[in-house]
Homo-oligomer: A and B are copies of this chain.
Amino acid sequence: MTIYIVNPNSTQAVTDGIDRSVDPMRPFSPVPIEARTLAEGPPGIETQAHVDGVVGPLLSHCAALEDTASAFVVACYSDPGLAALREQSARPVLGIAEASILTAMTMGQRFGIVSILSRSIPRHMRYVGAMGVMDRLAADMPLELGVLELADRDRTFERLRTVGTRLRDEAMADVLILGCAGMTAYCADLEDHLGLPVVEPCRAAAAMAIGRVALEKTN
């Protein structure tokens, strides 16, 4: 039995980054954790059409894994297919956006979200509204960097510091969430720089999945 973390885009490098990100958690998991790539996905999930479009392939992908799955994690910050996969699967199903928000709610009273691009924010706002936790949101602010541009470490970290500082000082956030699976590498440094907890969403969801594997055994 395995916790499957499914990256719904087709970029293996993103899956590899997720894999590295959760690697330190493996010794603490009762079951293996496997990061997988959805071959049918687009290279990056940047539009609502991408979000909706990966649901069908994602459901098929996960159906084939159902018998060996301890839990599923959908690893895109739009949580594509989360509700549908919960209807399909008998296993615990977590999404990195939802899990990171629920985790942040135990670490601070107002969470700030750092988004890649401003066009993601309306999508996030619909989701925070659907979750019913808008009163806990400080703000969601963009780096205005595309996924590929995140590779430029100096520029990316400078933007993260700027946006993180605004979230802390203007929007009064006391915990931050990295609103994309691709910012893992900056998490610890940003936390140090800002003096606030910073939630990396893939790890937060993997942690919750580990707990849910244990919880399932009580029923």
Question: A residues within 8 Å of B by Cβ?
Answer: 21-22, 24-25, 27-30, 47-49, 51-53, 55-56, 59, 80-81, 83-84, 86-88, 92, 94, 98-99, 102-103, 105-106, 108-110, 121-123, 125-127, 129-136, 139-141, 170, 172, 174, 187-188, 191, 200, 203-204, 206-215, 217-219
Once bound together, how far apart are the Cα atoms of A215 and B218, in whole Å? 22
Please give the distance in Å from A151's CB to the nearest CB on chain B: 21
* Residues from chain B with Cβ under 8 Å of A59 in the complex: 49
Once bound together, how far apart are the Cα atoms of A38 and B10, in whole Å? 28
A24 touches B218 (CB 8 A): yes
Taking A109-B121, A122-B174 as given, write out 5 further A-B residue pairs in contact, using a Cβ cutoff of 8 Å, ordered by the A residue number.
Answer: A24-B218, A49-B55, A106-B208, A129-B129, A207-B211
Report 17 cross-chain contacts, Cβ distance below 8 Å, ordered by A residue: A27-B217, A28-B217, A29-B30, A30-B30, A47-B87, A52-B84, A83-B123, A105-B131, A105-B132, A109-B121, A126-B130, A129-B135, A132-B133, A132-B135, A206-B215, A209-B211, A211-B211
* Residues from chain B with Cβ under 8 Å of A219 in the complex: 187-188, 191
* Residues from chain B with Cβ under 8 Å of A99 in the complex: 106
What is the count of identical protomers in the complex?
6
A98 touches B106 (CB 8 A): yes
Once bound together, how far apart are the Cα atoms of A218 and B21, in whole Å? 8
A52 touches B56 (CB 8 A): yes
Identify the 3 closest CB pairs spanning chains A and B, nearest first: A211-B211, A207-B211, A28-B214
* Residues from chain B with Cβ under 8 Å of A105 in the complex: 98, 102, 131-132
Once bound together, how far apart are the Cα atoms of A106 and B48, in whole Å? 15
Once bound together, how far apart are the Cα atoms of A218 and B204, in whole Å? 10
